[in-house]
Copies of this chain bind each other. A is one copy, B any other.
Amino acid sequence: MSDTNETGLRTAILDAARHLITREGHRDVSMRMIARAVGCSVSSIYLYFPNKDSLIHTLIYEGFERWYEETLVISRLPVTPLERVEALSRRYIEFGLEHPEWYEVMYLFRPERVARYPKELYRRTRRSLDLATRLVAECDPERFRSEDDARVVLGLIWSLLNGVVSTILAGRLDSRIDREEYIEAAIAHTVEMVGRRVAAA
């Protein structure tokens, strides 16, 4: 309650919700728990969010927004396109591990289950993805003449990176594996995927 006043209740609620969700999963986090964590009454939450859904949507929205900004910074780095992709991969893993709350919250986004206000959310998701796709395409304009080709590769990269981050966050990484080595190997692979043609299926 003390340091809450400084940043505003709305922000405090979002922070508490994000942390609790990361720890417990979003279905297990109740408005009561959030209120208790913030130190305000339950009904005060409803002063800032019309309902639980919208609170969670806000969280997801902010997660994507936040990652988009990271993507934007990287897209402007004065390095080679391939190095930009490498930076993007590295940053994605870092982002996920440094801010598991943001990462997990973005992962909550499930088109099928997130019912009520998803239109704007969709747009945000796409924005980051499209920018990243462009970064991939720039690496090899000849190979990625069609945007679709770049998209498939980006899709794989994204899957790999998500697999890596979620494996680590979930504590499922085999304890006999060295974490740094694992991460670096993943990044190296994403660079490979972009820089070299796959032997094809």
Chain A residues within 8 Å of B, Cβ to Cβ: 24-25, 27-28, 109-113, 125-126, 129, 147-148, 151-153, 155-156, 158-164, 166-167, 170-174, 176-178, 181-182, 184-189, 191-193, 198-201
Whether the Cβ atoms of B171 and A110 lie closer than 8 Å is yes
Contact A160-B160, Cβ < 8 Å, known A152-B177, A152-B178, A152-B181: yes
**Which residues of chain B are near A153, meaning CB under 8 Å?**
185
Choose one: B126, B156, B176; the contact of A186 (CB below 8 Å): B156
Report, nearest first, the 5 A-B pairs whose CB atoms are least far apart.
A159-B163, A27-B27, A163-B163, A184-B201, A160-B160
Chain A contact surface mostly:
helix
Whether the Cβ atoms of B185 and A25 lie closer than 8 Å is no
A145 to chain B, nearest CB (A): 15
Whether the Cβ atoms of A177 and B201 lie closer than 8 Å is no
**Which residues of chain B are near A27, meaning CB under 8 Å?**
25, 27-28
